[in-house]
Structure 1
Amino acid sequence: MFDGALLKDAKHIHFIGVGGSGMFPIVEILLAQGFQISGSDNNESDTLALERAMGVHVLPLGQRAENIAGADLIVYTAAIMDDNPELLAARQSGIPTVERAEVLGYLTAQYANCICVCGTHGKTTVTAMLTQMLLESGLDPTAVIGGKLPLIGGNGRSGKSDLMVCEACEFADHFLQLSPDVAVILNVDADHLEYFGSLENIIHSFHRFAEMTSRTLIVNGSDPNTMQAIEGIPGKEVITFGWEEACDYAPANLRHEGGVVSSFDLRCHGRTLTRLTLNIPGRHNILNAVAACAAAIHAGVPVTALAEFLGHFHGAGRRFEVLGKVRGVTIADDYAHHPAEIAATLKAAKELDFRRIWAVFQPFTYSRTQLLMDDFAAALSIADQVVMSEIMGAREKNTYGVHTGQLAEKIPGSVWFPAFPEIAAYVMEHAQEGDLVITLGCGDVYKCAKIMLCQ
């Protein structure tokens, strides 16, 4: 457990891997609290550019022992290896080091009303939706979001109220570091099996997270794994959302317009509260919106304002984000990196008015690629054309002996290339006017989309 005294005694905090999406909101909150922040990373990114503009001292790319000079506290991400030169130097010098999830946990404990949004899929979208509704209602929350929310120009903010909205990631049980007062559990699925080992272990971790929640559980009543995760937990208010009328909150009278815009009645205990319009595609996002509205109402957002606030939401960054058009070909980008997420995104794309759907996929981590390979093949096969890059290993070494070619063999007609320029050239040579090209993955595949926009 993180010793808060370390933060109280620190003036200069250095972040190893400062460009990570999970680092950015913590950096922003600590900057607002008056800390001097420096950081390093190996790859240039939009996040680094934002941090420089905010006043973060981002060191030249690369990780070197001398980068930690003058720091009172070192924060690192789970992706940092033990042999990282900055982490080694910090430990050898005696400078306190702490993983980012522990710092986030300490920060969540500082807020009297901390809403943590967890689940295998949909966390960022729901956290962003909820943040937007709370902000527009004047509640001034602090927010930690896994993707960029256009309303705030980033994926985090420091508010002045006692309310916090925090995306809670289950990877390596990081969410067990947090202090939730309200937990929103969207779904529970098999992921991060290199750590959890089985779906049963994942359900158990979500059970522990629900037990830690001090007051209220807002949960997916349509998801058996979620309902199993909250079994036997006494003393909590439980609010359900789902597709069935038996849930406390449910959508009804769904209507779709052109695949992008959906409208539906939000019902509570069988009574229609309001009619809502959703400006992001996909059936899965209707349930995400219901979950966000349930949490917003619980936090004090007026029901009469939900339609207006949700109508202003057009998605979070890297969540079916349309980036532009080149010679009649639409280029979009999505963070989907699990088979269920990829399938949901591609099904949503198929509902839109495009000639063909191209999936440009960057597999992330060797373990996930190996353990879920058949599921990836089935999900990607929804697209008309599939192009892939080599696997981004991130925090792992390839002890599995897996490579993208093995996945390509399971997807008829798919191709793969080692580098983004090759992928971009191939796609833009073969894509035709009226096609949609969507880059998929949680690594840096968005850079491939940007290359295509310049073709």
Structure 2
Amino acid sequence: MTHIRKDFLNDKKHIHFIGIGGSGMFPLVQILHGMGYYITGSDNNPGDTIDFEREKMDIPVVLGQKAENIKGADLIVHTAAIMDDNPELIAARESGVPTIERADLLGLVTSWFDNCVCICGTHGKTTTTAMLTQMFMECGMDPSAVVGGKLPAIGGSGRLGKSDIMVCEACEFEDHFLKCHPDIAVILNVDADHLEYFKTLDNIIASFHKFAQMTTKTVIYNGDDINSCKAVEGVTGKKMITFGMDEKNDYYPKNIVHKDGRHTRYSLYYHGENLGEVLLNVPGDHNILNSISAISAAIESGCSVSQALSSASVFEGAGRRFEIMGENKGVTIADDYGHHPAEIEATLKAAKAMEYKQVWAVHQPFTYSRTAMLLDDFARVLQIADHVVLSEIMGSREKNTYNIYAKDLADKIPGCVWFETFEEISKYVMSHAQPGDLVITLGCGDVYKCAKLMLAEK
């Protein structure tokens, strides 16, 4: 995997982002803007991020992608979702101006820090990255950060700190994480995803192995997860730390107490020693594991044990991670980024443990390949909810060569209905949901817009 040299930006002043509103672009925009670079951008879709960049950061953002948008740029950055036939990308490549993919820029940024903590795994990356970022801030470590979702504590999803510590969400999609420079790697879990690229689970495990081996200092991994353990087999020259629910791990919890489905208290143990109590303000057993991995990374990075334990309670969630949006007609509306069966399962189990009458899952399937390859798994986990409503599949970067449609998933779920538009979904759900119910929108596309429609439904 080729890395960009550390001084690549030294002669650059004007950086243009194609797809500047993307969740992977926004944190890099915030960091480079904070460093003094002149930023411009374009996007096809309006949204909160575009509004923030225009109004709060005074960044010129054009809606719609045209060749003339790149004028004056010294560097052009694009997302993986931008197709090769995009007129702006074509113009960029023909211009002679250096043009790179977002993952290359992220890899470059990670190389600037002596203690870069890279959070990887198929599920839980954003929550754990956001949690650790806030913990470092609480501990006075002044980190830089790249988070895949919005974190209220940093006013967005990127942060430029003054220390040599960086927290980075490192995604395995198309091996993008292999472009990073991890000093500490946290492997939360390894599961079958992005099979349109990896083809097999064994190939995914092999990529995580490469990531662990390229880490310079410490690998912190889920000792309960078979695939994570396979991924680190044969990794040498690093400090190896395990976390999990089982007492065989280096770090593990005991005396777990859940309160009202929203809060958790547990004792954290290390090699049989009780380090102290942890209070979490995010729901679900999966967040116990996320917090243990974050605490262990904080301790490895120089936080005191007591600081690391107490700082975990400050985190109250990241944007689009079981985010309570509000209430309408006595119905609570929440939004979650979950787009893989394992994520949806964790979210819906957490929702069912809360004190709501019934749980409605409004799911927007994301990419035709994932929906087709994991169809039965999606059907199984969505049935955890009392009611399931689907939108059509958001294809994103793909064309529907799989001949897969929302109806194919709906047919496998008893009582499931599906609609083509968010307006139809909103009207259906809000005319059928009862006071005391929870409606949670699920997906990594734009299904959050449906949550906003339901909140506004008269």
289, 295, 299: which is aligned to 2:291? 289
CA deviation profile, 1:335-370 (whole Å, cap 9, x unmatched): 000000001100000000011100000000010000
CA deviation profile, 1:128-179 (whole Å, cap 9, x unmatched): 1111110111110000011111111211100011110000000000000000
Relative distance call for 1:93 and 1:309 in structure 2 (3 A) is same
The alignment status of 1:392 with 2:378, answered yes or no, reads no
- Partner of 2:191, secondary structure, is coil
> Structure 2: how far apart are the matches of 1:453 and 1:97?
41
CA deviation profile, 1:193-236 (whole Å, cap 9, x unmatched): 00000100000000000011011101111111101101111111
> Structure 2: how far apart are the matches of 1:191 and 1:337?
10
Partner of 2:97 in structure 1? 95
Partner of 1:60 in structure 2? 62
- Partner of 1:7, secondary structure, is coil
The alignment status of 1:77 with 2:79, answered yes or no, reads yes
Question: Contact 1:6/1:73 (CA < 8 Å) preserved in 2?
Answer: no
Partner of 1:432 in structure 2? 434
Tell me the amino acid that sits aligned with residue 207 of structure 2.
S
Comparing 273-282 with 304-313, greater Cα deviation is found at 304-313
The alignment status of 1:410 with 2:412, answered yes or no, reads yes
Tell me the amino acid that sits aligned with residue 380 of structure 1.
L
Tell me the amino acid that sits aligned with residue 358 of structure 1.
W
Structure 1 residue 257: deviation in Å? 1.1
> Structure 1: how far apart are the matches of 2:72 and 2:374?
44
133, 136, 152: which is aligned to 2:135? 133
Q: How many residues align?
A: 455
- Partner of 1:316, secondary structure, is coil
Tell me the amino acid that sits aligned with residue 432 of structure 2.
H
Partner of 1:152 in structure 2? 154
> Structure 2: how far apart are the matches of 1:143 and 1:6?
20
Structure 1 residue 50: deviation in Å? 1.8
7, 11, 14: which is aligned to 2:13? 11
Question: Contact 1:77/1:100 (CA < 8 Å) preserved in 2?
Answer: yes
Partner of 1:348 in structure 2? 350
Tell me the amino acid that sits aligned with residue 77 of structure 2.
V
Partner of 1:183 in structure 2? 185
> Structure 2: how far apart are the matches of 1:244 and 1:3?
42
Comparing 370-379 with 90-99, greater Cα deviation is found at 90-99
Partner of 2:40 in structure 1? 38
Comparing 227-236 with 43-52, greater Cα deviation is found at 43-52
360, 365, 368: which is aligned to 1:366? 368
Question: Contact 1:216/1:239 (CA < 8 Å) preserved in 2?
Answer: yes
> Structure 2: how far apart are the matches of 1:29 and 1:158?
5
Unpaired runs of at least 5, structure 1: none
- Partner of 1:238, secondary structure, is strand
Partner of 2:176 in structure 1? 174
Tell me the amino acid that sits aligned with residue 243 of structure 2.
F
Structure 1 residue 83: deviation in Å? 0.5
Question: Contact 2:50/2:61 (CA < 8 Å) preserved in 1?
Answer: no
Tell me the amino acid that sits aligned with residue 295 of structure 2.
C
Comparing 306-315 with 360-369, greater Cα deviation is found at 306-315
> Structure 1: how far apart are the matches of 2:398 and 2:125?
24
Question: Contact 1:343/1:380 (CA < 8 Å) preserved in 2?
Answer: yes
Tell me the amino acid that sits aligned with residue 392 of structure 1.
M
The alignment status of 1:111 with 2:109, answered yes or no, reads no
Structure 1 residue 6: deviation in Å? 4.4
Partner of 1:379 in structure 2? 381
Partner of 1:308 in structure 2? 310
Tell me the amino acid that sits aligned with residue 448 of structure 1.
C
Structure 1 residue 57: deviation in Å? 2.8
> Structure 2: how far apart are the matches of 1:106 and 1:171?
17
Comparing 129-138 with 306-315, greater Cα deviation is found at 306-315
The alignment status of 1:298 with 2:300, answered yes or no, reads yes
Structure 1 residue 417: deviation in Å? 0.8
Partner of 2:229 in structure 1? 227
> Structure 1: how far apart are the matches of 2:220 and 2:296?
8
CA deviation profile, 1:253-298 (whole Å, cap 9, x unmatched): 1111111111100000101001111111111111111111111111
Question: Contact 2:320/2:335 (CA < 8 Å) preserved in 1?
Answer: yes
> Structure 2: how far apart are the matches of 1:171 and 1:396?
14
- Partner of 2:116, secondary structure, is strand
- Partner of 1:144, secondary structure, is strand
Question: Contact 2:41/2:62 (CA < 8 Å) preserved in 1?
Answer: no
Q: Percent identity?
A: 63
Tell me the amino acid that sits aligned with residue 321 of structure 2.
R
- Partner of 1:400, secondary structure, is coil
Structure 1 residue 412: deviation in Å? 0.8
CA deviation profile, 1:347-394 (whole Å, cap 9, x unmatched): 000000011100000000010000000000001111111111111111
271, 274, 292: which is aligned to 1:272? 274
Partner of 1:325 in structure 2? 327
Unpaired runs of at least 5, structure 2: none
Question: Contact 2:295/2:309 (CA < 8 Å) preserved in 1?
Answer: no
Structure 1 residue 305: deviation in Å? 2.3
> Structure 2: how far apart are the matches of 1:197 and 1:132?
36
Q: Please, what TM-score do these two structures have when normalized by structure 1?
A: 0.98
Tell me the amino acid that sits aligned with residue 78 of structure 1.
A
Give me the CA root mean square deviation. Answer: 1.0
Relative distance call for 1:381 and 1:192 in structure 2 (3 A) is same
- Partner of 2:445, secondary structure, is coil
CA deviation profile, 1:174-194 (whole Å, cap 9, x unmatched): 000000000000000000000
236, 248, 255: which is aligned to 1:253? 255
Relative distance call for 1:6 and 1:303 in structure 2 (3 A) is closer
Question: Contact 1:266/1:273 (CA < 8 Å) preserved in 2?
Answer: yes
Partner of 1:339 in structure 2? 341
- Partner of 2:62, secondary structure, is coil
Structure 1 residue 54: deviation in Å? 4.0
CA deviation profile, 1:24-73 (whole Å, cap 9, x unmatched): 11111111111100011111111112212343534331111111111111
